[in-house]
Structure 1
Amino acid sequence: MRLTGRGLRAGKSRHSIEGFSLVELLVVLAIIAAASTMITTAVVRALQQQDQRACLTNMLTIEAAKDEYVRDHPGATSIPDIATFRPYFRFGIPRCPNNPNSDYVNLLDLTKPVTCSVHGTIKGLSGGQVSEASNQ
Structure 2
Amino acid sequence: MPRPEVSLARKLRRTMTLPEVLLWQQLRGSPGGLRFRRQHPVGCYIADFYCSKARPMVEVDGAIHGVEARPSRDVARDQYLNENGYRVMRIGAADILRDAEAVAASIVSLAAALLHHSPAASGPPPRAGEDISWTS
Report which of the two has the higher share of strand.
2
- TM-score normalised according to structure 1 size: 0.23
Larger Rg: 1
Bigger RCO (CA 8 Å, 6+ sep): 2
Report which of the two has the higher share of helix.
2
- TM-score normalised according to structure 2 size: 0.23
